[in-house]
Amino acid sequence: MELFVLGLNHKTAPIEVRERLTFQESELEKALLRIHSLPSLKENMILSTCNRVEIYAAAGETEKALQDLKDFLSQHHHLSLREFEKSLYFLVGEEAVRHIFRVASSLDSMVVGEPQILGQIKSAYTLATESKTSGLILHRLLHRAFHVAKRVRTETKISNSAVSVSSVAVELAERIFGNLGTRVIFLIGAGEMCELAARHLVAEGAGNILVTNRTFDRAVMLAQEFNGEAIRFEEMALGLKRADIVISATDSPQYLVRHDQISKVMKERKQKPIFFIDIADPRDVEPGVGDIENVYLYNIDDLQKVANENIKDREKEAQKAEAIVENEVVKYANWYQSLEVTPTIAALKKKCDGIRKRELEKMLSLHPHLPEKERHSLEALTSAIVNKILHDPLTRIKQNDEEGMTVVYIDALRTLFHLPDQTGEECKEED
């Protein structure tokens, strides 16, 4: 039985390809069962996110299983194979284990260290378990992957620093105000950048959202998404008086927030601190605003600089995480090999003992009057001979595989003695 991964991700396929191969949540169980019905597959689970579509599986014949899965993807998504085949990767054995451990640890993510992927893998595994498409191999693999992800999270600082402009803005806001639950957020502009920053802030507990935009209807729509309040553009000063955090991202060619305006606002606020996040290009907030007492101003370059520094920190931590992954791959490989060693030893002992018994019975049939004592002696003698012959090879095969020879020994024993594999079929020499 061989473990493998077939898939594509943000590194190998453009979004136009990825979105056409994505599995809708409502169809995942049906897809799992269809794959499980393929004769070449023994176990499987599907991980489908916006950045990757991967099938984790175990099969006796990997090449046959690979072709079957390609055909399945083609049929299920109504695509010709040539439309996506070049984007696929196919990883087998330890390479597959390493890949899955890296995915679970967020080392293969678009943003290294992001936490969402682990939850997505756990959901995919839960569905495979409930659908009974996963078995011993995937159970052990996924639980080990969760363990690896936990080690990476606790033994490194890979997830500790913000690496996007929006997440940096949230991090800085928390440094200034602490708990964001009671803070008022004022969005100047209702475009994608403002919305994304707002979502990050809301995810961290912020709940009071004000929105202004030149097109008032758009401000109303965005405010409704956050259960907030829309303010007319010409009444922006009202929002500035109430806000603790101001996020501005418009396409205005001129400054919308000026030094003299904020000086007046700060007097009316009785010097209550205000934090400006200007992520517009060109800038919305006049640079001199940041010189006013109790006013904190960061523009997009400031935020990007912090993000870039944090990315460098994550890259250093990622090296530690990669070492953890390699350590865990070796542990899993040792366990996986033990699955092969144990049945090989049992099969070899069974075959040799069967031969011994049959030959002994033939000999005893030629001497029907042999006393019982002598019969027992012959039984013990032949058993001892078989055990002594098998002792050295079995001891050798049980030893730690420092030279990488265990697989070679197992394969040789199965071939030379025609031992059955885990599917019950005998190993045969290739022509």
Structural domain ending residue among the three candidates 112, 141, 160: 160
Residue 194 bears catalytic tag:
no
Q: Are residues 152 and 36 in the same domain?
A: yes
> So what's the pLDDT on residue 431?
32
Whole-structure pTM value: 0.59
Q: Are residues 174 and 209 in the same domain?
A: yes
Q: Kindly state whether residue 17 falls inside one of the protein's structural domains.
A: yes
**Residue in the block written with tokens 């105000």:** 177
Q: Kindly state whether residue 177 falls inside one of the protein's structural domains.
A: yes
Q: Note the pLDDT tens digit of each residue in 142-191.
A: 999 999 999 998 998 877 665 566 677 777 888 788 888 889 999 999 98
Q: Are residues 201 and 214 in the same domain?
A: yes
Below-70 pLDDT ranges, the chain? 111, 160-166, 338-339, 399-408, 411, 421-431
Q: Note the pLDDT tens digit of each residue in 207-265.
A: 899 999 999 999 999 999 999 999 999 999 999 999 999 999 998 989 999 999 999 99
Q: Are residues 145 and 183 in the same domain?
A: no
Structural domain ending residue among the three candidates 160, 176, 204: 160
Decide if 325 contacts 102 (C-beta within 8 A).
yes
Q: Kindly state whether residue 361 falls inside one of the protein's structural domains.
A: yes
> So what's the pLDDT on residue 429?
36
Q: Are residues 79 and 133 in the same domain?
A: yes
Q: Kindly state whether residue 269 falls inside one of the protein's structural domains.
A: yes
Q: Are residues 22 and 124 in the same domain?
A: yes
Q: Kindly state whether residue 308 falls inside one of the protein's structural domains.
A: no
Q: Kindly state whether residue 326 falls inside one of the protein's structural domains.
A: no
Rounded CA-CA distance 228/219 in Å is: 10
Supply the range of the domain harboring residue 225.
165-302
Q: Are residues 73 and 51 in the same domain?
A: yes
> So what's the pLDDT on residue 393?
85
Q: Kindly state whether residue 260 falls inside one of the protein's structural domains.
A: yes
Q: Kindly state whether residue 106 falls inside one of the protein's structural domains.
A: yes
Q: Are residues 14 and 82 in the same domain?
A: yes
Q: Are residues 201 and 264 in the same domain?
A: yes
Given 50, 194, 352, 427, which residue is catalytic? 50
**Number of domains forming the structure of the chain:** 3
Rounded CA-CA distance 408/95 in Å is: 19
> So what's the pLDDT on residue 407?
59
Q: Write the CATH number for 83.
A: 3.30.460.30
Q: Are residues 259 and 372 in the same domain?
A: no
Residue 399 CB neighbours (<10 A) = 11
> So what's the pLDDT on residue 404?
47
Q: Are residues 83 and 203 in the same domain?
A: no
Structural domain ending residue among the three candidates 160, 187, 209: 160
Q: Are residues 82 and 53 in the same domain?
A: yes
Rounded CA-CA distance 290/30 in Å is: 57
